[in-house]
Amino acid sequence: MNDCSFIAKRGRLTYIVRTMKAAMKKRTAPKEERQQQLIQATIRSVARNGLSDTTMATVASEAGLSQGIINLHFQSKERLLVETLSYIADEYRTAWEQALSSAGDEPADKLAALVSVDFKKPVCHPNKLAVWFAFWGETKSRPTYRRICAMRDMAYRKEMVQVCHELIVQGGYQDVDAETVTACLSAMTSGCWLDLLTNPRSMSRLQAKRICMSYLVTTFPRHFAERSDK
Amino acid sequence: MNDCSFIAKRGRLTYIVRTMKAAMKKRTAPKEERQQQLIQATIRSVARNGLSDTTMATVASEAGLSQGIINLHFQSKERLLVETLSYIADEYRTAWEQALSSAGDEPADKLAALVSVDFKKPVCHPNKLAVWFAFWGETKSRPTYRRICAMRDMAYRKEMVQVCHELIVQGGYQDVDAETVTACLSAMTSGCWLDLLTNPRSMSRLQAKRICMSYLVTTFPRHFAERSDK
Amino acid sequence: MNDCSFIAKRGRLTYIVRTMKAAMKKRTAPKEERQQQLIQATIRSVARNGLSDTTMATVASEAGLSQGIINLHFQSKERLLVETLSYIADEYRTAWEQALSSAGDEPADKLAALVSVDFKKPVCHPNKLAVWFAFWGETKSRPTYRRICAMRDMAYRKEMVQVCHELIVQGGYQDVDAETVTACLSAMTSGCWLDLLTNPRSMSRLQAKRICMSYLVTTFPRHFAERSDK
Amino acid sequence: MNDCSFIAKRGRLTYIVRTMKAAMKKRTAPKEERQQQLIQATIRSVARNGLSDTTMATVASEAGLSQGIINLHFQSKERLLVETLSYIADEYRTAWEQALSSAGDEPADKLAALVSVDFKKPVCHPNKLAVWFAFWGETKSRPTYRRICAMRDMAYRKEMVQVCHELIVQGGYQDVDAETVTACLSAMTSGCWLDLLTNPRSMSRLQAKRICMSYLVTTFPRHFAERSDK
DNA sequence: AATGAATGAGGGTTCATTCAT
DNA sequence: CATGAATGAACCCTCATTCAT
């Protein structure tokens, strides 16, 4: 009986100790966790300082870790940056794939979902936008960056063309071209992102979405006319 | 006495020599010309190497001049960059102002001219796009850059809103909103620029313009329907 | 009660497992053996990478062990290096002492044995030469290294002077000075080592020995004339 | 008259000013001069701190110049080191070539000159020896160093073989082999250098030379017997 | 006893800026 | 005006050492 109480107490103690340790910041962490932590710190640093003022030191300090840690986990600064870009590209892809799969079967709903996800939080966080543009800015001189960006783009567009095509067939929009709509829409998206980045005062995520939706309204009037919501 | 005459002669000689040297290099407004030369070199360097790999050395060598020259004319690297950004912003503004003034009085023509100029050479040269994105990439952490970009944008949009408004009134497009169209159109422009930058293979200036024009066709059908040209 | 027996069993099991693991790696004197292992790894690493590119990591990996192991056994890198130098100095001494003791009583034989051992495998292995020269190279700035080297030298020379003296007396080489011969001979030895190190292609251990023996032939003709062998 | 005194004063002043400037260490110097200065500083630093503790900082401070100067003139530390090794190799070669050319035509004199120069100041300065051994110590892992050392060696030996051959022919030393003598002699030289490096207390340049000369006495008795001098 | 993640001082190198020429 | 040698702060990276496990 007292054994039980002891165990109970012991369990409680263990719990407390574990909590304390966690609070003291684990000195050692699973490899992948540390890498994630550093990628997140990189995103914050790029957003805060810009890519050209992001140094090993700013990232490490943003992560609350020591100088050498990045080379320990990523070998070089360049690899950290590539990994960071890859991370947000993956995140982006995952986001619209999920949005798509939970949008139902109606092509119009799918299209709306695709546009929607571009202006929702995880993907459209100011920091993420800053990172995208930071890398786009170096794209011309860094084939590696370009490749990653291009891949993200291609997958996204391919899907959107598909969805547009379905919608065109279904809705009988004979004189609308799926490729063109996709080009317009994805250009508008990144254009709006630029606005969100440079004029955060006069542009909000909601407004940005409305702008893109307005395009859908004019293009597919019978499917988007009344829905100004969401 | 003869001493004096000698000195006079000597001063004269020095002057002549100096003048000849100057003539061999340039003739007028040396100061501003040099600055222009350096700004052009900066544009090329940013396009070639990226902003973070653009150093005083890369710019100087791109200009075929010596190390210290930039500090001599711009005091600091930061100022050179700001001047460069200002330069392409001014160039951009001048370009659409000219386009507008030679477009005639028809609002539709003016709008077409505005879109057109965004995808014509001086403004839409690959190097210029690279520079724009390079600076946009640093925008979040550099208020100065943001301010310059924002001003360029505002003037352009103000004008476009005006033109759209005229067109709406003239064409009786009651359910079209000038602000929204402007937002769509200018977002599409920068979005297409991004494509030109990152996928130069699969996107051309001509295509980009067509994409934007397609938007005008759907939005103002009675004014842009038949003109797929130019 | 059964709890206790379980714990006992468990303790026993742990012990067995641990013992088995130990047995799979080593059996006795773990401490000294580990140190030896690390010293051997150091020798290989210095030979392969040079002293200035020998790091705790190269040594540990050469030993097939983990990072922290060296500090565990040697406290510091400096101590590892000193122990390594001491080790090859000891090995050297042991080698010629053994050679001497198995050479018989004839001074000429002893002298030949001393020369011989300098060019035989354990002592004259390429790796060992590399290590000697690596440390000699740092000798001027590291009194500790110098001291160890000097001691090795002194003992060796003292013995050789002794042997030479015997030979001079025995052979009646009145105009030969034991000290000088020793100086010549030991200089030639290290000089030949240098050649073995830097021109391994054009110099072999056998040649090196012949060169040194040729000196003995000219110096002590009546004792070394006919023996070109071994 | 007062003019004269003025001129005198002025001359004096000029002199003082020039001296002061020189004392303030010329900010700018001919390229080759700076490189020489840095090579000399490297030699001192390697001698003082050893090769593995010679850093850009120790060299720069030894030269009384700033951190960045070495990369300005040598691009990298590695190149500075190679250049330094090349320098002392060249110096060595020049030294014995000069010694040879001022030694007259007698082979014995030439041989004596060759041995002599190895133990005279510019070449046999403690710092130079330290540098030689520092590089020899890294020879096994650095092909570049090895190549430079090997070339120095080859030229020297080739010459010595030649001289020995002349002497053998001239003196009728039929049973002496030029190659062997050269091998012995040059081994003894570097062996003595090692002694000078590690036991500066018990070995002097003069003694070292005597040791080598003693070898010549035994090998070429009819030419070197009486000359213990120089 | 052994591991290997983490640290942080210090290494080589770059580069904006200064300044004598 | 223009040059380019020189500076030195700050960068990225390495590595001896520590320490929780």
Q: Which nucleotide is nearest to D77 (CA to C1')?
A: E12
Q: CB of B219 within 8 Å of any CB in chain A? A: yes
Q: What is the pLDDT of residue D26?
A: 52
On strand E, nucleotides with any atom < 7 Å from a protein CB are 1-21
- The residues in A 158-177 lying below 8 A from B, measured between CB atoms, are 177
Cβ-based contacts of B126 with chain A (< 8 Å): 140
Fold of C78-230: Tetracycline Repressor; domain 2 (1.10.357)
- What's the Å distance between residue A197 CA and nucleotide E12 C1'? 38
Q: How far lies D80's CA from each of B115, D22, D27, D59, D165, in Å?
A: 58, 26, 21, 10, 39
Q: CB of C192 within 8 Å of any CB in chain D? A: yes
Tell me the average pLDDT of chain B.
88
Q: What is the pLDDT of residue C192?
A: 98
Cβ-based contacts of B146 with chain A (< 8 Å): 198
Chain A window 63-102, residues with Cβ within 7 A of nucleic strand E: 65-69, 72-73
Q: CB of B93 within 8 Å of any CB in chain A? A: no
pLDDT above 50 (res C130):
yes
Residue B55, CB, strand E, below 7 Å = yes
- In this complex, whether D and C touch, counting 3 or more CB pairs under 8 angstroms, is yes
pLDDT above 80 (res A24):
no
**What value does the mean pLDDT take over residues B205-226?**
92
Residue B13, min C-alpha distance to chain A (Å): 50
Q: What is the pLDDT of residue B104?
A: 87
> Which of these, D87, D71, D175, D78, lies nearest to D123 by C-alpha position?
D87
Q: CB of D144 within 8 Å of any CB in chain C? A: no
D128 against A26, higher pLDDT: D128
Percentage of chain C modeled with pLDDT above 90: 82
Touching subunits of B (3+ CB pairs, under 8 Å) are: A
CB pairs under 8 A between C and D: 139
Length of chain D in terms of residues written: 230
**What value does the mean pLDDT take over residues B76-80?**
97
Number of H helices, E strands in chain D: 12, 0
A221: closest chain B residue by CA:
B218
Residue D50, CB, strand E, below 7 Å = no
Q: CB of A187 within 8 Å of any CB in chain B? A: yes
Distance, CA of D8 to CA of D26 (rounded, Å): 26
Q: What is the pLDDT of residue D54?
A: 97
Q: What is the pLDDT of residue C195?
A: 96
Fold of B82-230: Tetracycline Repressor; domain 2 (1.10.357)
pTM: 0.86
- Other C-beta atoms closer than 10 Å to the C-beta of A184 total 24
DSSP chain B: -HHHHHHHHHHHHHHHHHHHHHHHH--S-HHHHHHHHHHHHHHHHHHHH-STT--HHHHHHHHT--TTHHHHHHSSHHHHHHHHHHHHHHHHHHHHHHHHHTS-S-HHHHHHHHHHHHTSHHHH-HHHHHHHHHHHHHGGG-HHHHHHHHHHHHHHHHHHHHHHHHHHHHHT-TT--HHHHHHHHHHHHHHHHHHHHH-TTT--HHHHHHHHHHHHHHHSHHHHSS----
User: For an interface test with B, which of A81, A139, A209, A210 has the most B Cβ atoms less than 10 Å from its Cβ?
Assistant: A139
pLDDT above 50 (res D184):
yes
Reported confidence tier of residue D27, pLDDT bands at 50, 70, 90 = low
- In this complex, whether A and D touch, counting 3 or more CB pairs under 8 angstroms, is no
The H or E element that residue C208 is part of is: helix C205-219
- What's the Å distance between residue A8 CA and nucleotide E16 C1'? 65
pLDDT above 50 (res A107):
yes
- What's the Å distance between residue D114 CA and nucleotide E9 C1'? 48
Distance, CA of C148 to CA of C161 (rounded, Å): 20
Contact at CB, C135 and D138, closer than 8 angstroms: no
Cβ-based contacts of A137 with chain B (< 8 Å): 50-51, 133-138
Q: For the segment C147-164, what is each residue's pLDDT rounded down to a tens digit?
A: 999 999 999 999 999 999
Reported confidence tier of residue A30, pLDDT bands at 50, 70, 90 = confident
Q: Domain limits of chain D?
A: 77-230
Contact at CB, D184 and C153, closer than 8 angstroms: no
Residue A95, min C-alpha distance to chain B (Å): 21
pLDDT above 50 (res D16):
no
Cβ-based contacts of B133 with chain A (< 8 Å): 133, 136-137, 139-140
C98: its two tokens: 């053994």
**What value does the mean pLDDT take over residues C43-68?**
96
- What's the Å distance between residue A38 CA and nucleotide F17 C1'? 24
Q: What is the pLDDT of residue D31?
A: 85
Q: For the segment A144-202, what is each residue's pLDDT rounded down to a tens digit?
A: 999 999 999 999 999 999 999 999 999 999 999 999 999 999 999 999 999 999 999 99
Q: CB of D219 within 8 Å of any CB in chain C? A: yes
Q: What's the one-letter identity of residue D146?
A: R
Residue B122, min C-alpha distance to chain A (Å): 18
Distance, CA of B34 to CA of B56 (rounded, Å): 15
Q: What is the pLDDT of residue D21?
A: 44
**What value does the mean pLDDT take over residues C80-105?**
96
Pair C115, C212: CB distance under 8 Å: yes
Touching subunits of A (3+ CB pairs, under 8 Å) are: B
**Superfamily the domain A1-75 falls into:** Homeodomain-like (1.10.10.60)
Q: For the segment B27-72, what is each residue's pLDDT rounded down to a tens digit?
A: 445 788 899 999 999 999 999 999 999 999 999 999 999 999 999 9
pLDDT above 60 (res D14):
no
- The residues in A 196-215 lying below 8 A from B, measured between CB atoms, are 197-199, 211, 214-215
Q: What is the pLDDT of residue D225?
A: 79
Distance, CA of A45 to CA of C111 (rounded, Å): 72
E7 C1' closest Cα residue: A66
Contact at CB, B126 and A136, closer than 8 angstroms: no
pLDDT above 80 (res C111):
yes
- What's the Å distance between residue C132 CA and nucleotide F21 C1'? 39
User: For an interface test with A, which of B127, B139, B186, B219 has the most A Cβ atoms less than 10 Å from its Cβ?
Assistant: B139
Q: What is the pLDDT of residue C28?
A: 46
> CATH assignment of D77-230?
1.10.357.10
pLDDT above 50 (res A12):
no
Q: For the segment D64-113, what is each residue's pLDDT rounded down to a tens digit?
A: 999 999 999 999 999 999 999 999 999 999 999 999 999 989 999 999 99
pLDDT above 60 (res A223):
yes
Nearby residues of D117 by Cβ (< 8 Å), 6 or more positions away: D95, D96, D98, D99, D123
Cβ-based contacts of A134 with chain B (< 8 Å): 137-138
Contact at CB, D149 and C198, closer than 8 angstroms: yes
- In this complex, whether B and A touch, counting 3 or more CB pairs under 8 angstroms, is yes
Q: What is the pLDDT of residue D193?
A: 98
Q: For the segment A59-105, what is each residue's pLDDT rounded down to a tens digit?
A: 999 999 999 999 999 999 999 999 999 999 999 999 999 999 999 89
> Which of these, A72, A88, A137, A116, lies nearest to A209 by C-alpha position?
A116
Contact at CB, A51 and B139, closer than 8 angstroms: no
